[in-house]
Each structure stands twice: as structure tokens, then as C-alpha cells.
Amino acid sequence: MRVQMLGLCRYSYLGLRGYQVEHDSIAARRAYLYDPARLERRWHWFTTVALPGWLAQTDPDYTLVVMTGPDLPEPWLGRLRALCDRVPQLRLSLVPPMDYHLQACRAAVAPHVDPDADVIGHFRHDDDDAVAVDYVQAARRDFALIAGLWQAEGKLSLDYGRGLMVEARDGQLKITPRICHNMGVALTIFLRPDAAETALHYNHTKLGQWMPGVQINGPLMFIRSIHGDSDSGDMGPGLPWQPEEGQMNRLLRTRFGLRRGDLAALARSLT
């Protein structure tokens, strides 16, 4: 069974809906999203935290659509173009503001759906979060074990619940290990190729309303970042877990391709 892994990363996309931080007009939204200081901070989160894991995937057969507006200011639009030209798995999609956010997400993703695939593994990814280097490989492998659930309805969620909450506040870095349910990162929604939906069409906190779901709580599979520019600024519900003594730096390096010192420097730069 051919599974296409297809993700969407909204990168400062100029839309009025689909986010927890709301604005009353396109002009207000544009001023907020395109503030140069904010855009520079988002670029550093994207390149420092999100990119290393994607560039090091043990299964490179995936597509991550980076969705932004055609009027994203320079130099950030040029940086995105250069990055997507260099990395074949990244596809830049320039979508103008649309009346309905989910239509915009579908417009970004639809051209990249493989019609020859049997199943599309849709996922969403925020530009300041990270997935482990084997996320794509694990999702394909574990879907094969539960494909019968998907075949019954053509919809199935697969959630990796073990992660790290990385908080950057007042120049300080804090890392909290958490097991969470359907956090949104490292969460795959398996749909048929002709489905009109993407991962964004389903509220990740309410997936049980629409489809069966399976959660796997090991190994460590995601990082969720929390900072002043976050759309949602709290950790949400979850359970604690504790790495072995002295293993945090190794986990960051081997699971995500990150160095703790780089994360600490990023946190300090936000003061």
C-alpha cells in the first residue's frame, strides 16, 4: 500500500481565520504578521528548531508544503524561496488571503497530492516545532500495523504522544518532558487521495468526533515551542515523564539534530 506523507506548514500566512490570535481586519493582521522583528524571530525559530529534523529524516520520501502569502516581505520571502529550491521535500505555496482559511489550506496542499498513492498521511507542522528524525519512517511503519482500522472508514489518526515542551521566557530556556494527547505535532491524519480535507480540517483536540485514533507514547517524537510569538501560549493537559539522568542533551541531538546551547541562545535572543 503506497502511503504519501504530505504536510502543511503555515509560515506567517496572512489569513483571518484558523489561529487563536485574532484580528479585526486584513490590515491589522498584516501589520502583526509582517512586523520585521517578528518575522526575524520566526525565521530563527524555523531554521534553528524546525528544519534540522526535517533535513535529517531517515525516510526522505515526504513533502512539506510551506504556505505563505505572495506579499510576504523581503528578505524573508527570498529566504523561503532559496530554501525550498535547495530542499526537494519542501514546496513553497504562495496563497493570497482567502475568505475561508480551510479553503486556503486545501489550495496549498491539493497540487501536491499524489494521485497514485493509496493513502495520504496528512500532517500539520508549526514553524517553531520539531519532529524527530524518524517521524516519517515511523508513521509509515506503524500505519502498516493498523491499516485495517483505516480501511473501515478511510480516516484514521496516528498520534505520537511523547515530547518535550521548550519554553523561552525572559531570556531563559526551560525544557519539560510531557506525554500529550493529539497535541498537533507528530500527528498524522490518514485519508484517501480523493478526500477534500487536509490535516487542518480536523480540530486536533476533537479528532474522536470524526475518526478512530491510535496513540503511541514512545519513542520521543516531538518538540513543541512556547514563547512570546506562540499562537497558543500554554502546555495544555499532559503527563510528566523523566529522561534518564544526564540524557537530555543526547536526546536533543540524536532525536532532533539540535544542540541545547543553540536553543538557549535562541531563548536569550528573545529578550
**Which domains, and CATH codes, for the chain?**
3-269 (3.90.550)
- pLDDT at residue number 158: 98
Phi-psi map region of 184: left, alpha, beta (phi>0 left; psi -120 to 50 alpha): left
Q: In terms of DSSP bridges, do strands 155-160 and 90-94 run parallel, antiparallel, or are they unpaired?
A: unpaired
pLDDT along the chain (271 residues), means of 10: 97 72 73 95 97 98 98 98 98 92 95 97 97 98 97 97 96 96 97 96 95 97 90 80 95 98 93 62
Report the pLDDT value the prediction gives residue 24, as an integer from 0 to 100: 63
pLDDT at 236: 83
pLDDT of residue 17: 57
Q: Which of 221, 151, 161 is nearest to 191 (CA)?
A: 151
Q: Can you read off the three cell numbers belonging to residue 195?
A: 478526500
63-68 vs 3-10, strand pairing mode: parallel
Residue 228, pLDDT score:
81
The DSSP call for residue 209 is G
CA 211/CA 116 separation, integer angstroms: 23
Beta bridge partners of 121: 5, 190
Query: What is the per-residue pLDDT for 99?
Result: 79
Strand order in the sheet with 187-191: 90-94, 63-68, 3-10, 119-124, 187-191, 155-160, 213-216
pLDDT at 56: 98
241: three-class secondary structure by DSSP: coil
